[in-house]
Structure 1
Amino acid sequence: MLELEHTTKTHDEARQGEALELLPTGKSTGRKLYIESYGCQMNFSDSEIVASILLDKGFETTKDYKEADVVFINTCSIRENAEQRVRNRLKEFESAKTKNPGMVVGVLGCMAERLKSKFLEEEKLVDVVVGPDAYRDLPNLIEKVDDGAKAVNVLLSREETYADINPVRLNSNGISAFISIMRGCDNMCSFCVVPFTRGRERSRDVHSIVKEAEDLFAAGYKEVTLLGQNVDSYKFTEPVAEGETAKPAVNFAQLLAKVAEVSPELRVRFSTSHPKDITDEVLYTMARYENICKYIHLPVQSGNTRVLDLMNRTYDREWYMERVDAIRRIMPDCGISTDVITGFCTETEEEHAETLSMMDYVQYDFAYMFAYSERPGTLAAKRYEDDIPEEVKKRRLTEVVNKQQSHSLYRLQNYVGKVHKVLIEGFSKRSDQDYCGRNDQNTMMVFPVDARFKPGQYVHVSAERCTSATLMGHIVD
């Protein structure tokens, strides 16, 4: 599975979210917490919720798992080899535990339900297993482990949104932050495990979302990303007392506007959109507010209608193209990225060619690209044979990656010679003589340090040249 976002790399490569060393918010227990996160942005956001819950109980955080009293790994079930990566990492924690017998090791997140018996009983790698909706129960579960028992809570909820918890910003640059606006998913895409690991869709209280954005801005943050499995289906209805008149529901376009209105200096991004749900109202709202970034992640998965039907994506090729046309019409400068799966069950060469032609039609800024991997428990695993040979999947994936690299270069070449508003995020990975930050279209820009400006400030950068992943330029007045 490959990912192309500024660089091409394996998507399920471990993105380690090591906790910063933070002091407890409650009475200190002297115990140290280490959290490592893998996978999607939602997992990293969840780790911040976990840290908040345990800091409130007197834990401190550490960046070194070997000195931790409680070690958690927040897992992703998107790909098969992600599980092997987690298992290997748990064995490293097991080794550390031999030197610290009181250490509690736990698995959080999407692997919890499916692999709880393996991790707890067969391989005896962990002490506690907790699903995405049970993080409030962590203090109680840790106590059970302290008393010598194994502990499990993988119950899914129809109500839990953690709306009242103020996340601890782990590994934060103090500039950009995630805000979770909803949990779960009601879209039963046949290849996807999310509805089974994260439960049914529920939207968070709009007031708590706006308050979190206000608090972040007051703390100096300049950019927030609204997170949900399908943000376009966000819908919050205000509870009313008996006899009161019901208020109209707040939809995603209205939520976007409310967050944008926190301050014109607060940039707003969001992820992820679903092609069946993204509306013109959302697009016009994006166009109306200068501080809502002109960038949409719109997963296509396949360019062929039959394959889309097998995937249960609930839109066809023509619908997707019409949504792209609407984006280009309403926001001609909008960046678009996507997800693509190659080698889905029964996919023919002609159908694969339609995916390539869809890529030519849209010309995505960048893409996350995957060879299909069957996930146990999904509808596809139950209904369809995984009948495309691995070498065919990989060859098709290579064709998709090569095409996307050419499109990424083309898109970035169109940005050269233009001036872009950029939020300075910090120093470039390659040199402390250069700053880096993203433009409206989510493209990374690198430019020489200017002593007049520092991270967290907006600057205008003239793009002078590019690779297929990055724009290079200099700050202009």
Structure 2
Amino acid sequence: MEEKIINEELQGQSIVLEKNLGNDRKLYIESYGCAMNFSDSEIVASILSKEGFNTTQILEEADLVLVNTCSIREKAELTVRKRLEKFNAVKKTRPHMKVGVLGCMAERLKSKFLEEEKIVDMVVGPDAYKDLPNLIQEIDEGRDAVNVILSKEETYGDITPVRLNTNGVSAFVSITRGCDNMCTFCVVPFTRGRERSREPQSILKEIQELSDKNFKEITLLGQNVDSYLWYGGGLKKEFANASDMQKATAVNFSALLDTVARTFPKMRIRFSTSNPQDMTLDVIETVAKHANICNHIHLPVQSGSNRILKEMNRLHTIEEYFELIDNIRRILPDCAISQDMISGFPTETEEDHQDTLNALKRVKYDFGYMYSYSERPGTMAARKLKDDVPEEVKKRRLAEIIAVQRESGHYRTKQHLGKIEEVLIEGTSKKSDADWMGRNSQNAVVVFPKENYKVGDFVLVKITDCTSATLLGEAIELVVK
């Protein structure tokens, strides 16, 4: 599993959907963490709209308050605790209001939240959302409710997520749940369980519904999309016991990607997150084959040191990683590659850190997500390794990593100058109401004057200037698909 990408701008957003006129109760739901959590909140909202709940963005008028939590980083956990204090303050004036915790923190902190601190009424793990109707009945009758059982089957393939706070242009489509890669720094296998894949027809059906609603771009989402494997249901690790027929008709990620691209030629397709040890060349060749699959691969490396990679239980060496990068560049010369990097992992020396800086300089990533190590309770690293790198050393190393990445990012954005690139307009630029903001195939942000285009248009843009992270240009013409 990869350190999931946390979009800071989205953290703590409350969500609102179209009202169902027959519904008389109000749900307030906030999400923290990675794209997977935001995707799960859409599933929860869909289930609860059938249980009489309309969403609200006004906390003070809610009958049920849910917070969808993340255990990846300490910061997210502290934020959620503060929010729970706020919810309980509101509860004093609305005694009938119920508070629930969903998602990755649920399993680990269930007894703390429910019994010791008594700050929530309900705790629901990531695989138990279909049990919400029963759990809500329990809390309505005055009892605490908890279901944090991790499932071997649940993929929510039969629930159409309600799109929340969407720009109406791009959407996430979840294709796997859970993770089998036991990276020592990561809590996901413990909070989201074993890896299982979603039935391909249900994925195609969801994309068809998005296409019918005029969405222009989808991201196939999983803790580790490359290890997608459908053979009739069941856990990835039990594939060895599948029948000959199941093995012969199994669908891997490359085949799924190919089917999606062929079925929806007008839809722009992305995928995230990839794991170096599971990424195969047939996936890269599939990307190269289809114009509608974006030329961007998020390929977390976490460290440039083989010794640290081993301590992290990453099942690849840095040499194997470089070989994969070289193959991507050979098959997909225009491909953007982004990274996740952890500084100050336990036992990391200056030499290990130097290896990381050298890896950054060799690959010259387009962009990256960089963190200093924070110990997560329940992980192998927390149990077996002493968090022995001083905080100030972690911070200095992280600053050095960011400085190299900034330089590489600028080098990569400059490669776009003078080119004409297809951009999908997502909305108004943050800096100026006179400009649109969209992304090119490489997932770089492109800003250009509005003229007479609109959100959801594909536009050819000539790139005239850049900063270290953003491309600036002028629209040339509308692309008709």
Please report the TM-score for the alignment, with normalisation by the length of structure 2. 0.94
Query: 43, 48, 54: which is aligned to 1:60?
Result: 54
Residue 11 of structure 1 and its aligned partner are, at CA, apart by 6.4
Query: 2, 11, 15: which is aligned to 1:15?
Result: 11
Give the Cα–Cα distance (whole angstroms) in 1 for the partners of residues 121 and 359 of structure 2. 47
Query: 14, 24, 45: which is aligned to 2:39?
Result: 45
Aligned to 1:190: 184
Give the Cα–Cα distance (whole angstroms) in 2 for the partners of residues 431 and 265 of structure 1. 30
Query: What is the identity, as a one-letter code, of the residue corresponding to 2:311?
Result: L
Give the Cα–Cα distance (whole angstroms) in 1 for the partners of residues 196 and 301 of structure 2. 24
Question: Per-residue CA shift, 1:392-442, capped at 9, x if unaligned?
Answer: 111100100111111111111111111110111111122221111100000
SS in 1 for 2:19: coil
Query: 200, 205, 210: which is aligned to 1:206?
Result: 200
Aligned to 1:462: 462
Give the Cα–Cα distance (whole angstroms) in 2 for the partners of residues 244 and 312 of structure 1. 32
Contact 1:93 1:105 in 2 (8 A): yes
Contact 2:17 2:163 in 1 (8 A): no
Contact 1:21 1:63 in 2 (8 A): no
1:45-444 correspondence runs (5 A): 45-238=39-232, 245-246=245-246, 247-444=248-445
SS in 2 for 1:160: coil
Greater alpha carbon shift after TM alignment, 196-205 vs 426-435: 426-435
SS in 1 for 2:415: helix
Contact 2:219 2:271 in 1 (8 A): yes
Aligned to 2:236: none
Contact 1:12 1:38 in 2 (8 A): no
Give structure 1 stretches of 5+ with no counterpart: none
Contact 2:23 2:49 in 1 (8 A): no
Residue 199 of structure 1 and its aligned partner are, at CA, apart by 0.1
Residue 450 of structure 1 and its aligned partner are, at CA, apart by 1.8
Give structure 2 stretches of 5+ with no counterpart: 234-242
Give the Cα–Cα distance (whole angstroms) in 2 for the partners of residues 13 and 21 of structure 1. 20
Contact 1:275 1:299 in 2 (8 A): yes
SS in 2 for 1:113: helix
Query: What is the identity, as a one-letter code, of the residue corresponding to 2:284?
Result: L
Question: Per-residue CA shift, 1:312-350, capped at 9, x if unaligned?
Answer: 001001000000001100001000001000111111101
Q: 1:141 to 1:282 in 2, by over 3 A?
A: same
Greater alpha carbon shift after TM alignment, 329-338 vs 377-386: 377-386
Contact 2:346 2:385 in 1 (8 A): yes
Contact 1:424 1:456 in 2 (8 A): yes
Contact 1:11 1:368 in 2 (8 A): no
Greater alpha carbon shift after TM alignment, 306-315 vs 118-127: 118-127
Contact 1:12 1:82 in 2 (8 A): no
SS in 2 for 1:129: strand
Residue 276 of structure 1 and its aligned partner are, at CA, apart by 0.6
Contact 1:28 1:57 in 2 (8 A): no
SS in 1 for 2:89: helix
Contact 2:168 2:214 in 1 (8 A): yes
SS in 2 for 1:111: helix
Query: What is the identity, as a one-letter code, of the residue corresponding to 2:339?
Result: T
Question: Per-residue CA shift, 1:263-298, capped at 9, x if unaligned?
Answer: 221000000000011111000000000000000000
Residue 121 of structure 1 and its aligned partner are, at CA, apart by 2.1
Give the Cα–Cα distance (whole angstroms) in 2 for the partners of residues 214 and 404 of structure 1. 38
Question: Per-residue CA shift, 1:227-261, capped at 9, x if unaligned?
Answer: 0011100000137xxx9954421010110111112
SS in 1 for 2:462: strand
Greater alpha carbon shift after TM alignment, 10-19 vs 371-380: 10-19
Give the Cα–Cα distance (whole angstroms) in 1 for the partners of residues 67 and 331 of structure 2. 42
Give the Cα–Cα distance (whole angstroms) in 2 for the partners of residues 287 and 294 of structure 1. 8
Contact 2:304 2:358 in 1 (8 A): yes
Give the Cα–Cα distance (whole angstroms) in 2 for the partners of residues 11 and 446 of structure 1. 20
Contact 2:299 2:340 in 1 (8 A): yes
Give the Cα–Cα distance (whole angstroms) in 2 for the partners of residues 104 and 260 of structure 1. 44
Give the Cα–Cα distance (whole angstroms) in 2 for the partners of residues 49 and 223 of structure 1. 19
Contact 1:343 1:371 in 2 (8 A): yes
Residue 58 of structure 1 and its aligned partner are, at CA, apart by 2.2
Contact 1:22 1:62 in 2 (8 A): no
Give the Cα–Cα distance (whole angstroms) in 2 for the partners of residues 364 and 61 of structure 1. 40
Q: 1:444 to 1:35 in 2, by over 3 A?
A: same
Give the Cα–Cα distance (whole angstroms) in 2 for the partners of residues 379 and 49 of structure 1. 30
Give the Cα–Cα distance (whole angstroms) in 2 for the partners of residues 23 and 248 of structure 1. 42
Please report the TM-score for the alignment, with normalisation by the length of structure 1. 0.95
Contact 2:344 2:397 in 1 (8 A): yes
CA RMSD of aligned residues (A): 1.9
1:440-455 correspondence runs (5 A): 440-451=441-452, 453-455=453-455
Give the Cα–Cα distance (whole angstroms) in 2 for the partners of residues 404 and 270 of structure 1. 22
Residue 14 of structure 1 and its aligned partner are, at CA, apart by 6.4
SS in 1 for 2:263: coil
Query: What is the identity, as a one-letter code, of the residue corresponding to 1:458?
Result: F
Contact 2:17 2:162 in 1 (8 A): no
Query: What is the identity, as a one-letter code, of the residue corresponding to 1:220?
Result: N
Give the Cα–Cα distance (whole angstroms) in 2 for the partners of residues 366 and 349 of structure 1. 23
Contact 1:104 1:142 in 2 (8 A): no
Q: 1:348 to 1:213 in 2, by over 3 A?
A: same
Percent identity of equivalent pairs:
58
